[in-house]
Amino acid sequence: MSARFVDTNVLLYAVSRDAAERGKAETANAILGAGDLALSVQVLQEFYVQATRASRPDRVTHDQAARLVESFRRFPIVDLTPGLVVAAIATRERFRLSYWDAAILEAARAGSCDVVLSEDLGDGQDYGGVRVANPFRDR
């Protein structure tokens, strides 16, 4: 395993225009520039929905979000499969997580990633060989 898996919040911070998130935006863009990343169909879906959400102060338009999703396809994308769903259900039960968080972990595993970059899961926590690192903890 060598690539790092990117959770949705990394993509959202990368496009943030909120002054309070400037440091996180810089960190997110540095991560995306590194290139040793993978993400999943779920991450792309969540990004689109959250980036265009009407209540988001710095939301992007449909066209902007669609172009961003296309640009993120430069990274390896883990597909949603029945096997991934079954694995996520088991991980949800084993670690008492939400299904969505478990699906992120299992997509990382399916993409041969041993690290998930996320602000939403426990920093440093190991979930059966997939470790979480919060790149924003000091931001």
In angstroms, the Cα distances linking 99 to 12, 54, 90 are 21, 25, 9
How far apart CA 75 and CA 138 sit, in angstroms, is 26
Which class would CATH give 3-133? alpha beta
User: pLDDT tens digits, residue range 32-60?
Assistant: 998 789 999 999 999 999 999 999 988 99
Q: What is the pLDDT of residues 68-113, one digit of tens each?
A: 999 999 999 999 999 999 999 999 999 999 999 999 999 999 999 9
Pairing of strands 126-127, 77-78: unpaired
